[in-house]
Structure 1
Amino acid sequence: MDIKDITVVVDLGGDRPATGVAIDLAQKLGAHLTGLALAYDPVVPGYAVTPVPVDFMISARNQALDEAKNAQQAFTKLATEAGISSEARIIEVMSGGGLDGIVHDVRLADLVVISEDNPEQPEPVRDALIEAVLFHAGAPILITPRKLSGPVDTSHVLIAWDGSITAARAVRAAMPFLKAAEKVDIAIVDDGKELPTGQRVTAYLARHGITATPTTVPNPKKDVAAALKHYATESGAGLIVMGAYGHNRLLEWILGGATRGMLKDLTIPLIMTH
């Protein structure tokens, strides 16, 4: 499937690396780019003893809208300068209303670009936003490291393969990047179970004109994410493609897992699907 419709969640402040990445991809792929700036309603703690003054709530909401408008304007300026087809809008995230607004907005996107959260300039509910898009929007996500200083290097793509349905979906979603790459590797991390051979995915890619090399990655510390990150860095990959939450979602959130491990301290851009 071609990528012709990209949505980026515009960070409210900082360097906004996701916006730069999305604009670059829109230029290369000839895609339309939508910038979403999120305005978060103020949240009142459940343990609050006294009612929060109405004036405070109004002021906090207005501030959130102003921040979203500034982000929207910053996106519009950059997109216009890049000469791409684009639009920008603000979505209000209501207290207690979840993230339904953005989920509905991105359901027809071919790719959603979101930046990893920056602890020095944290975005509200960033982890929950990524999870909501993964599980409820059905769109692949490109998560950019917060310290990314330039466009995504798509010349060398690494596929994290475990034979799961989510990994297969990720491969199909990333097909435009795989076809354009100069080198495609398939990493099969030893997780102590019977490993897929990589033969089927290699043959599948070959039928699409893509030559890929499978490699079994050792995992002495029994940490799939750490092993995958190390291999990706050592091999010089510029983009990782993997399925998200291939195992029990609740168990991964409680005990940790490959998905959570990959999303922590990200150094290489990551395409994920569920």
Structure 2
Amino acid sequence: MAIKDIVTLLDIETDLTTAPIQIANEIAEKLDAHITGIAPLVEPIVPALMVQPVPDQYISDARTRADEKAHSALERFAEYADRVGTKFETRLMDVTPGALETFVNHTRMCDLIVVGQDNPDRPEPLRTDLIEAALFDSGRPILMVPYVGTEAFSAKKIMVAWDGSKTAARAIHAAMPILELADEVQIVMVEAKKLHLPGDPGADLAVYLSRHGVQVSVEKIPAPSSGVADALLNHISDNGIDLVVMGGYGHSRVREFILGGATRGMLQAMTVPCIMAH
């Protein structure tokens, strides 16, 4: 399936990286895609157990600041997209009430969601919730951009983390237009004890990708005691990988997302952009 419609969740804090905007626009330019920038309008929330009433002026000022931040993010996105000549539109998203459902509904009619990793030193719980909701409930693939270290989009050398699962297969299918741009694609299989696949799944995937014109190789790497995520991160660093494609694992308990170990490890410590699907 072609990538023709991209959605990106904009950062409303001016000191955050602009890399997600740049990468979303670069992908849109390479694939002749339309891009929608969504800015969250975060309404002030008054704790239910407040003893003293909150002054009306405080609420009014907080709403004004939130509105200014959201519109400023939209303006920064529009200025960048207009400068590089990308087809784009902007949307303001009121995130309360029903923040997760609102964002998910915005993303279901697109081919790729581009979001930036949260600042590990100043995490935003709402932003983390929005990202996990997009991954697990939108039905669309998500491209995560690291908080630091990514200045421009590159897909010359891509790593596909392959374990034979349906989530990994979905990620590969969703990323195919980008895989076809690569100079080299490495299929990497971590030899975990619980991974028992019939036949030669790495070779089978290599044949499938080669039929799409992808230059591919297969590598099997041992799983360290620290886990699959560390094995993948070490391989990324040692081999100069530009982009990762992998499945996103987890399940939902009511509306609380429980991430699989490899997925959470990659989301927290990623050093290159990562395309995930669930």
Query: Normalized against structure 1, the TM-score is what?
Result: 0.92
| 8 A Cα contact 1:17 1:148, kept in partner | no
Partner of 1:6: 6
The 2-side partners of 1:266 and 1:44 are apart by 35
Shift in Å at residue 133 of structure 1? 0.6
| Aligned-partner residue type, residue 233 of structure 1 | S
In structure 2, stretches of 5+ residues that fail to align are none
Partner of 1:231: 235
Query: Relative to 1, partners in 2 of residues 1:269 and 1:119: Cα closer, same or farther, differing over 3 Å?
Result: same
Residue number among 48, 67, 70 corresponding to 2:69 in the alignment = 67
| 3-state SS in 2 of match to 1:187 | strand
| Aligned-partner residue type, residue 179 of structure 1 | E
The 2-side partners of 1:205 and 1:141 are apart by 20
| Aligned-partner residue type, residue 238 of structure 1 | D
The 2-side partners of 1:38 and 1:120 are apart by 21
| 8 A Cα contact 1:40 1:92, kept in partner | yes
Shift in Å at residue 256 of structure 1? 5.9
The 1-side partners of 2:251 and 2:101 are apart by 23
Query: Normalized against structure 2, the TM-score is what?
Result: 0.91
1:67-98: CA deviation from partner (whole Å, max 9, x where unpaired): 00000011111111111111112111114x23
The 2-side partners of 1:173 and 1:104 are apart by 19
Query: Relative to 1, partners in 2 of residues 1:255 and 1:127: Cα closer, same or farther, differing over 3 Å?
Result: closer
Shift in Å at residue 209 of structure 1? 2.1
Question: Number of paired residues?
Answer: 271
Partner of 1:113: 114
The 1-side partners of 2:181 and 2:76 are apart by 30
The 2-side partners of 1:35 and 1:248 are apart by 28
| Aligned-partner residue type, residue 272 of structure 2 | I
1:131-159: CA deviation from partner (whole Å, max 9, x where unpaired): 11112211110000011342121001100
Partner of 2:86: 84
Ranges of 4+ aligned residues in structure 1 off by more than 3 Å:
119-124, 194-197, 247-250, 252-256
Partner of 2:191: 190
Listed as ranges, the matches of 1:147-166 within 5 Å are 147-166=148-167
The 1-side partners of 2:31 and 2:258 are apart by 39
Query: Relative to 1, partners in 2 of residues 1:75 and 1:227: Cα closer, same or farther, differing over 3 Å?
Result: same
Partner of 1:269: 273
| Aligned-partner residue type, residue 185 of structure 1 | Q
Query: Relative to 1, partners in 2 of residues 1:80 and 1:254: Cα closer, same or farther, differing over 3 Å?
Result: closer
| 8 A Cα contact 2:183 2:215, kept in partner | no
| 3-state SS in 1 of match to 2:154 | coil
Partner of 2:22: 20
The 1-side partners of 2:180 and 2:209 are apart by 9
Query: Relative to 1, partners in 2 of residues 1:78 and 1:214: Cα closer, same or farther, differing over 3 Å?
Result: same
| Aligned-partner residue type, residue 10 of structure 2 | V
1:163-193: CA deviation from partner (whole Å, max 9, x where unpaired): 1110000000000111110000011112212
The 2-side partners of 1:261 and 1:122 are apart by 16
What CA RMSD, in Å, does the superposition of the two structures yield over aligned residues? 2.0
